[in-house]
């Protein structure tokens, strides 16, 4: 037997560095987690802004100042009210940052979850784009 091979399982278990990743692997993992958190923060901004803009233009609020009071309907009032509440709600949602200090591991960080969701949504968008553009 070689000098470096353990004779039994007890000798193999006593080596504390056996299952630990090397310094290069741990740096690559740290960079990967950092990139995923940065992508999650960027995707969160893009997603919330898109929800606010699309919601505002989808509801298409009309100015109510020129509408005679007798012709004003509840539908017009509610569409204008929700047309304002959607961007205000998105602004509140944007400034209500997720608390990442409670997370003890990288997987529990809320920006990692945003990054993973953004990756899935981006992948589905690319698949839908190519599927809709095939001839």
Give residue-wise pLDDT tens across range 2-38: 555 555 555 555 555 555 556 667 888 888 888 888 9
pLDDT in tens, 99-118: 766 656 777 788 888 888 99
Task: Using alpha carbons only, give the angle 5, 10, 14 rounded to the nearest 5 degrees.
Answer: 80
Residue 47's closest CA among 125, 127, 129?
Answer: 125
């Amino acid at each position: 037997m070689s000098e470096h091979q353990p004779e039994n399982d007890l000798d193999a278990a006593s080596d504390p560095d056996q299952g630990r990743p090397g310094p290069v692997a741990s740096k690559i993992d740290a960079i990967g987690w950092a990139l995923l958190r940065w992508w999650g923060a960027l995707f969160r901004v893009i997603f919330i802004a898109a929800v606010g803009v699309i919601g505002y233009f989808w509801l298409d609020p009309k100015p109510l100042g020129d509408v005679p009071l007798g012709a004003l309907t509840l539908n017009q009032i509610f569409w204008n009210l929700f047309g304002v509440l959607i961007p205000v709600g998105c602004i509140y949602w944007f400034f209500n940052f997720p608390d990442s200090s409670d997370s003890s591991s990288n997987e529990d960080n809320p920006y990692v979850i945003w990054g993973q969701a953004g990756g899935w949504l981006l992948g589905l968008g690319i698949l839908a784009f190519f599927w809709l553009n095939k001839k």
